[in-house]
Amino acid sequence: MQFCRVEKRERILVVTINRPEVMNAVHPPANRELAAVFDAFGADPDLWVAVLTGAGDKAFCAGNDLKFQAAGNDMTQPAAGFGGLTSRFGLQKPVIAAVNGLAMGGGFEIALACDLIIASENAFFALPEPRVGLAATAGGLLRLPREIPLKQAMGIILAGKRVTAREGHAFGFVNEVVPPGDALAGALLWADEILQGSPMSIRASKDMVARVIDAERTEAMYRAQKTYPAMKALYESEDRIEGPKAFAEKRKPSWKGR
């Protein structure tokens, strides 16, 4: 593995995004590697729960690697999406996010795609995509308004508002806040609790909840979102080029609105 570390702890798979030099931002090669890891996790009958975290104590994941994108590299993502999870529908085994620092953009979307979020006190979350001419199309625009009150979700989405771990817990998308440095340990405790139940019961329960919240409709919208008129206009606009370019050049973007 070049971009992540994988460790098996009996029935638990611990996956660590390992790009600390870029705050664990992910690019297509990293996403393909993580997708393969979660493919194997889903197929392994001896692994019942996965925990996903980031290397170091500063970042869970800073989202899309904008410098990699601004350099003109191929940005084709695997079918399973960011972190191998954001467009992975149908995985019945639980996945826990151990958020040990910032979770920005696609990093927040990866966490939202997990079943539980355990966050350290120093963690914070944001969807800053509009500030770089993009949109949170890795599930953030679909999952966040479903998990917290609409006005709170709109504040995070439209203003790029940063949300602390405590605020996330109050809103309801964080399960537990733990001391700095304890995100992984806290997530493993939750994994141990889950392992007290029958894995067959856990999978059946997760599958039923997915059906209750209409996962099929969420998946259909996820696949179709870039065909919607406003989103299509964004992805064909000058602003979408300008945002990552300005980020890479460390300057304020000059928006055209077209």
Catalytic residue at 109?
yes
Active-site choice (7, 21, 129, 176): 129
C-beta neighbour count of 198 within 10 angstroms:
11
From 33, 109, 121, 176, active-site residue: 109
Distance CA 244, CA 251 (A): 10
Which residues, in sequence order, are bridge partners of residue 116? 96
User: Are residues 85 and 39 in contact, defined by beta-carbon separation less than 8 angstroms?
Assistant: no
129 annotated active-site: yes
d(CA 230, CA 211): 29
Q: Which amino acid is at 69?
A: Q
Please state the length of the chain.
258
**φ, ψ for residue 3, nearest 5 deg:** -115, 0
Instruction: Pull the structure tokens for residue 89.
Output: 């529908």
Tokens at residue 156, please?
Answer: 């995070």
Active site residues: 109, 129
